[in-house]
Every structure is written in structure tokens, then in C-alpha cells.
Amino acid sequence: MSDTKNQDILLESGTNELEMIVFGIGYGWFGINVLKVREIINPLPVVEVPNSHEYIEGIISLRGEVLPVVNLAKVLNDQAQVTSKQDKLVVVELNELKIAFRVHEIARIYRFSWEEIEKPDGLSTSQQTYAIGYTMIEDDIIILLDFEKVIVEINPQLSVASDANLRQLGKRERSEKKLIVAEDSAVLRHMLQETLEKAGYYNITFFENGREAWEYLMHIASNESIDLSEEVHLMITDIEMPQMDGHHLIANIRNHSRLKHIPVVIFSSLITDALYHKGEEVGADAQVTKPQIANLIKEIDKCIL
């Protein structure tokens, strides 16, 4: 693989850039946002767990912490599932979980603009299911994988908000509030709509990425006759999205004279103690980690009720 992208560590927030660790599975190249990765290690002895999900190889002990190991070749239905000396374990933290993913080869870290990440239209069915988007390095297609979807497939309960948790929030009048949601995952859009409506938020407009949401906001802001305080009561945004990420979207909103007062809540698997400051730097009103959707409703209520 060609070595053409900037490898410096990305520290600023809201630049619409990401750093991606590129790795190989079989004959394909894939990527993961470096912000999700805690470390990359050589494989450790794996203890099989009876009756576990087919994607789970077993568990490992890493410095006294027990982590499940997911075989990404099995997830992607790749035939090259035999382990080798080049294999690495990518230890990932997201959705309040730590998981080790087995990959066949690590290339390096590349920097991209989210504008270079295309939506996964036209990818093969098996890979499109797990794709946030794709980009190119020279002649190689790099597929940015949706690790959250893999985790939800292994444990579907992680994407479900219990009715009991929602009832604890109490009955409040939410039906007149207009929400905008930027979320690239169709699975999570459906889950968000279902849960928001259960809570009483029925007036929701969804967009598949930050750019589409931003273009909509710019369109309504250009009409001086529209009272924006009544047209958009709150924005919910993911962070990782093709074309424009959530941090850049929020920075744009905060820098716009008519839009800057819109409350914005980040709902993302990238909300960790180490990364929380990035949302603060761009002006997010609240940040909620997936899959704590009951907490999301609570933060929305704080902002607009």
C-alpha cells in the first residue's frame, strides 16, 4: 500500500478530519478511527467460551482485564480465517465496552478529511452492511467499518432502551418540539426514532450525515422570515459520519450568527473520558455515549423543556 497520507497526530477539534488505522483482512483493506483504538497488540492465548456468538473467538486476559476477541474475518465472511504470525489484536473502546478485534495485517495511520469518505452506496452487500463509508489510497479501496453495528449484532440488547428507563423520566409535553438528527447508521436512526417517539418527541427530521444536516440548516437560515427558535428546537448528532463529522457540524453552527443558539447534543460511541473535551471545545451542550438512550432523552429535556 502506498505511503502518501499525512501521519501526524490529529489533536484539534472540529477540523472535519479523522485519522484512520488501516488494516488488512484477507485481500481487502479496512479502517477504524484511531480515536476508538486503545492499543494494538500481538495475539494472546484465547480461551474459548461455550455457546458464544459465532463471531467471538473467546476471551483473553490483558493486564488482568478480561476482553472478548472478535474475529473480523468471520464478520466479513472472508474465507481467510486461519490465524497467522502477522495477525494483530486491535483493542477498541466504544459503547462503554472494551473489545479486541483480530485482523490479519496492520498497514499504518492515515489522515483524511471526512469529505473524502463517500457513503457506502454501491459496495457489495456483505461489506456494505458494516461500512460507514469508503475512500481511496492510490488504487486501493479502504472501507471504514461500522464497529458499533458488529457489537449490536453480537448483543442486540445494547441497542434497546427499556420502557422502564423511559418511564422514570416522567410524562412531559414534548410533542411540539422540533428535533433534527444527524446519524449515518440506518439501524440507529430507526432506534432513535422509536425511542424518541416513545418519550413523546414526534417531530423529528433525520439526515444521513452532517453535511446534509448543515445544508438544511443553511437553507432555513437564509430565509429571514423564519423564526429559527421555533423551527429547530434541538440538534442531535453522531460524530463519525461521511462528508461532515459531528464536531465540524457543531463548530459550523456555533460560528453562524442565526444558528449559534441551537442546542446540540452529541450521541456517539466516542464519548469517553479521554475524548469528552473535543465536544466541549466545539460547543456541544451535552454529550451522551451510545447506547445510553434514556440518558439522551434526559439531556434533551434539560436543554429545551
H-helix or E-strand containing 67? strand 65-71
Match 457506502 to its residue by C-alpha cell: 120
Domain containing residue 83? 17-154
What local confidence, expressed as pLDDT, does residue 126 receive? Answer: 46
Same structural domain, 105 and 205: no
| Residues contacting residue 192 through CB under 8 Å, at least 6 positions apart | 181, 183, 204, 206, 236, 267, 293
**Residue at which a domain ends, from 154, 174, 205:** 154
For residue 78 the three cell numbers come to 472472508
What local confidence, expressed as pLDDT, does residue 5 receive? Answer: 47
What local confidence, expressed as pLDDT, does residue 82 receive? Answer: 60
The sign one gets for the Cα dihedral 103, 40, 99, 135 is negative
Cα–Cα distance for residue pair 107/163, rounded to 1 Å: 44
What local confidence, expressed as pLDDT, does residue 4 receive? Answer: 42
pLDDT in tens, 116-133: 998 876 544 444 578 888
What local confidence, expressed as pLDDT, does residue 50 receive? Answer: 93
Confirm whether pTM is higher than 0.85.
no
Contact present, 120 and 133 (Cβ < 8 Å):
yes
**What is residue 16's three-state secondary structure?**
coil
What local confidence, expressed as pLDDT, does residue 160 receive? Answer: 56
What local confidence, expressed as pLDDT, does residue 293 receive? Answer: 78
Same structural domain, 223 and 135: no
Residue 132 lies in a domain: yes
Number of domains in the chain: 2
Question: What are the start-end ranges of the H helices in the chain?
Answer: 72-75, 125-128, 147-154, 163-167, 186-199, 210-221, 228-231, 246-254, 276-282, 293-304
Residues of the chain with pLDDT under 70: 1-11, 78-83, 121-128, 157-173
Same structural domain, 82 and 216: no
How many other CB atoms are found less than 10 A from the CB of residue 71? 21
Contact present, 288 and 271 (Cβ < 8 Å):
yes
pLDDT in tens, 13-60: 788 998 999 999 988 999 999 989 999 999 999 999 999 999 999 999
Residue 81 lies in a domain: yes
Residue 5 lies in a domain: no
